[in-house]
Amino acid sequence: MSDGPLPIDPGLLARFRDAGRQIAWRAAPRPRHRGRTARVAHLHDEDARVERWGTDGTGGVAADSGPVGALVVLLEADRRGAAPSLTAWNAGTDPAFPQGAIVGTWGEAPPPGDSVPRLADLVEIARYALA
């Protein structure tokens, strides 16, 4: 169903990739955890804090809950391959993500999460970033 590693309709995946190329990145306050980088993704008047760590094979990405954050996590999965672990943090779980976060990890133990979203859930949330 997909022309990439994700089981997403090829036309929708192409739209996600196009939106990803439109993201404007800027510096974010330093991450609380060592070994992480932090930036803010801006698309269509919405921002999402994004933290990355590790390598493509053994690392992860955390992004603010919301359409742009879901889009960023999906694009990471498109680039790296489907995340073996997806978790979500509720608002207030991590001070760096006061509204909650979506977390994808590759090749490492998943961080504790408050819930386990499905890929289809991220796709539905990320659709709102396309507007």
The model's pLDDT over 44-103, given as tens digits with 9 standing for 90+, comes to 999 999 999 998 889 999 999 999 999 999 999 999 988 888 999 999 898 999 999 999
Q: Where are the beta strands (DSSP E) in the chain?
A: 24-27, 36-43, 46-54, 59-64, 85-89, 101-106
Domain ranges of the chain: 10-130
| DSSP annotation of 122 | H
d(CA 40, CA 73): 13
pLDDT at 111 over 80: no
Which residues lie closer than 8 Å to 120 by C-beta, 6 or more apart?
Answer: none
- Kindly report whether the global pTM for this prediction surpasses the value 0.85: yes
Report the pLDDT averaged over residues 28-48: 91
Which residues lie closer than 8 Å to 15 by C-beta, 6 or more apart?
Answer: 130
